[in-house]
Amino acid sequence: MQLNQFLILSAFLFCTGVYGILARRNAVLVLMSVELMLNAVNINLVAFSAFSNAVSGQVFALFVITVAAAEVGVGLAIVLLIYRNVHTPDLDAVDQLRG
């Protein structure tokens, strides 16, 4: 298998995640897009780890998964809090820091 396959796949996922972050209105959907991006990164890491027979890539990927999980937890807590305040998960409603 070509390395590039994995890498391009990962790039595609990543950019899709970017689109999701920028374009989605629901806060939870944004978080999901973040998860997409993180997975893209993970695929990249593991691909390189396989490419160079280094195990550290996989270790790194594990750590990323861990951190992503933690991040999702905290992130959703924040989303809940926001929801309690503005009563909608719509991110466009959260513009109190408008200049």
Partner 1 sequence: MLDHAWVIPLLPAVAFLGILFVGKRLPFKGAELAIGAIGVAFVLSVVASAQWIDRVESSTGEEHGLAALGHDVLVVPAGADGEEPPPTGAEEPHTAEGDEDHEAAPVDPVVHSVTWWQSGGVEFTVGTHVDGLTTMMMFVVTLISLLVFVYSTSYMRGDDRFTWFFAALSLFAASMLTLVVAENTLQFLVGWELVGLCSFLLIGHWWEERDNSAAAIKAFLTTRTGDIGLIIGIIIMFFAAGTFSITGINAYALSEGARHLLLVAGAACMFAGIVGKSGQFPLHTWLPDAMAGPTPVSALIHAATMVVAGVYLGARLYPVFYEGFSIADGGLNLMAVIGGVTIIIGALLAFVQDDIKKVLAYSTISQLGYMVMALGIGAWVAAVFHLFTHAFFKALLFLAAGSVSHSGAHHSFDMKRDMGGLRPYMPITFWTFMIGSLALAGIFPFAGFWSKDEILVTAGETGFDFFLYVGLAGAIMTAAYMTRCVYLTFFGEYRGHGQPHESDAAITVPLLVLAAFSVLAGLVNATAFGIEKFTEWVEPTVFFPTLTHADFDVGKAVISVSVAALAIGAAAYYFFRREELGALRGLTRRNAGAKAGYTFLVNKYYLDHLYTDVIVGGVRGPVAQASYWFNQRVIDGVVNGLGTTTRRAARLLYDFVDQGAVDGTYNGIARETGEAGGLLRRLQSGLVQRYAFGLFAGVAVLAVILLIVN
Partner 2 sequence: MIAQNVAFWIVALSMAGAAVGVVRTRNVVHAALYLVVVLGGAAAQYILLAAEFVAWVQVLIYIGAVVIIFLFGIMLTRAPMQSETALDNDQRWPALVVAVFLLGVLIVLLVDAFGDQTIRLDDELLATGRTGNVGSSIFRQYVVPFEVVSMLLLAALVGAVAIARRD
Q: Give the interface with partner 1 as residue ranges (CB under 8 A).
A: 18, 21-24, 30, 91-92, 94-99
Q: CA 16 from chain center: how many Å?
A: 10
* Residue 61 near partner 2 by CB under 8 A: yes
* Residue 13 near partner 2 by CB under 8 A: yes
The nearer residue to partner 1, 28 or 50, going by C-beta atoms, is 28
| Smallest gap from residue 13 Cβ to partner 2 (A) | 5
E strand or H helix at 73: helix 56-86
Residues 6+ apart with CB under 8 A from 40: 10, 11, 12, 13, 14, 17
Owner of token pair 């996922």:
13
Residue type at position 60: F
* Residue 41 near partner 2 by CB under 8 A: no
Residue 86 near residue 94, CB atoms below 8 Å: yes
* Residue 85 near partner 2 by CB under 8 A: no
Q: Which residues bind partner 2 (CB under 8 A)?
A: 1-9, 11-20, 22-29, 31-33, 35-36, 39, 42-43, 46-47, 49-51, 53-56, 58-59, 61-63, 65-74, 76-81, 83, 89-92
